[in-house]
Amino acid sequence: MQFKDLNLHPSILKAVEEEGYTTPTPIQEQAVPLVLMGRDVLGCAQTGTGKTAAFAMPILHQLEQRNLSGPRKISALILTPTRELAIQIDDSFKTYGKYLKVRTLVIFGGVGQQPQVDALRRGTDVLIATPGRLLDLVNQRLLDLGHISLFVLDEADRMLDMGFIHDVRKVLQLLPNKRQNLFFSATMAPDIQHLADAILIRPVKVEVTPVSSTAEMIDQCVYFVDKANKNALFLSIVEGINAPSMLVFTRTKYGADRLARFLVKNGMKAEAIHGDKSQNNRQRSLKAFKDKTIRFLVATDIAARGIDIEEMEMVINYEIPNIPETYVHRIGRTGRAGRSGKAISLCDFEEKAYLKDIEKIIHQKVPVIDNHPYPMEIFEVIKKEKTPRPTSDRNKSIAPKQREGTALPSAKKGKSSWFRKRKA
């Protein structure tokens, strides 16, 4: 099948052709006809499968068929969890709709609201928004959602992860009952399924790219290393890699900042991106990474959600995620569209359980690289037996040389006197 077989508006097909696309992805091939028919759609698809175009193109087609003269009222609402993803969705709508009369607008928090309010007053057909800023403007009576006929909830699982589920429910109460609904999520946990059931009416389910097959397309490997030696091993690995840019993942904002500072200190061009960074800072870092003026972008999972960078060769998990599906999302940013990709993970003792969970969900063992200069020496944690404290000492502080729950420093780097070595 080719795009011309999807019965889309000729102007959309012209824009698609100019982008160099001729064949739709599986989710586009399945979802576009259903959206054009007016059906509610439940899409289970991960980042990088082309799902944005799967709803953007048919929405543009439907709106172009209407009389778009006169004052513009919001007809389609796309709700998404992050600013980065909202911007990218807006870019997609503008790309595919550049020869149409349809107007699009994106709003999100972290920046001044007045320019967004001014744009809303000029009118728009499609609104792409994050939940917080959307509700804020509604509460100020600066935004009317009473004319929505198309509603898209994108990255529903990430909405849940970020604590936006209550905001989503508030938005739903503001929408007309009669509307077409499109629901997209990379995973379908019970909470996500319940939300989908509450939104969708007799939906058609579209599911592509199972988790296991996504992982099978990526060249993966893992290095077992003690936490204290991760920085040194990271440098040792990247010094031998010719990739011009690498996306590096940490579990926390603090970890992202710390690793980025370490890389800069060692002569590497790196920046961190996470939720505490300002919108301008995040966009500047992302642009620098795409332009290859920096080599490393160190990101948390939430901040990296929606980042779509062409020809990404390398993803490094500096820290293993504690949610198995997150690992698949991370490595799925490389090896897209049939290209080769590589994912490297650094795993310390405490992360071994996370790795086992990952291997269960992807139905394969991640190959282990044993021959490296910082092999793991901490294999088992010995729990220290606690001695009951006398009642008379209740108000005394613990001796500063060894506070409870803190390891004593040992002579050799990366080890503690509370750990026991085991020969590999």
The model's pLDDT over 115-136, given as tens digits with 9 standing for 90+, comes to: 999 999 999 999 999 999 999 9
Cα distances from 218 to residues 28, 246, 413, in angstroms, run 23, 15, 34
pLDDT band at 394 (very low <50, low <70, confident <90, very high): very low
At residue 47, the pLDDT reads: 63
- Looking at residue 160, what is its pLDDT? 83
Evaluate if residue 309 carries a pLDDT over 90.
Answer: no
| pLDDT beyond 50 at 64 | yes
Task: State CA 17 to chain mean position distance.
Answer: 28
**By C-alpha distance, which of 280, 222, 271, 221 is closest to 248?**
271
Q: Identify the band that residue 419 occupies on the pLDDT scale cut at 50, 70 and 90.
A: very low
Cβ(247)–Cβ(332) under 8 Å? no
Question: What is the residue extent of each domain of the chain?
Answer: 3-209, 212-362, 379-424
- DSSP-derived letter for residue 156 is H
Kindly provide the residue ranges of all beta strands, DSSP E only, lying in 270-386, ordered along the sequence: 270-273, 296-299, 314-317, 342-347, 380-381
pLDDT bucket at 348, cuts 50 / 70 / 90: very high
User: By mean pLDDT, which of 52-56, 166-170, 395-399 is the weakest?
Assistant: 395-399
Looking at residue 218, its pLDDT comes to: 85
**Residue 345 bridge partners (DSSP):** 222, 317
Say if 3-209 and 212-362 have the same CATH topology: yes
pTM of the model: 0.60
DSSP code, position 345: E
Structure tokens at 61: 């087609």
Model confidence band, residue 413 (pLDDT cutoffs 50, 70, 90): very low
Banded pLDDT at 296 (limits 50, 70, 90): very high
pLDDT at 326: 79
Do residues 419 and 232 make contact, with C-beta atoms less than 8 angstroms apart? no
Question: What is the rounded CA–CA span in Å between residue 175 and residue 69?
Answer: 23
CA separation (Å) from 49 to 7, 38, 378, 399? Answer: 21, 22, 40, 56
Any idea which residue has 């940013």 for tokens?
Answer: 333
**Structure-token pair, residue 319:** 């820290």
Return all residues near 356 (Cβ < 8 A) that are at least 6 apart: none
Class of domain 3-209: alpha beta
C-alpha to C-alpha distance for 221 and 38, rounded to whole angstroms: 44
Element (H, E) at 419: strand 419-420
Rg (CA), the chain: 25
Confidence check: pLDDT of 408 > 70: no
Residue 205 has pLDDT above 90, yes or no: yes
Helix (H), strand (E), coil (C) string for 78-105: EECCCHHHHHHHHHHHHHHCCCCCCCEE
What rounded mean pLDDT belongs to the chain? 83
Average pLDDT of the residues in 26-40: 93
Q: For residue 368, is pLDDT > 50?
A: yes
Main-chain phi, psi angles of 263, to 5 degrees: -65, -45
Which pLDDT does position 424 carry in this prediction? Answer: 39
What's the whole-number mean pLDDT along residues 309-329? 82
With bands split at pLDDT 50, 70 and 90, how would you rate the model's confidence at 403?
Answer: very low
Q: Which CATH superfamily includes the segment(s) 212-362?
A: P-loop containing nucleotide triphosphate hydrolases (3.40.50.300)
pLDDT at 340 > cutoff 70: no
Helix (H) or strand (E) holding 417: none
Q: Please, which residues bridge with residue 347 across strands? A: 224
Confidence at residue 362, expressed as pLDDT on a 0 to 100 scale = 84
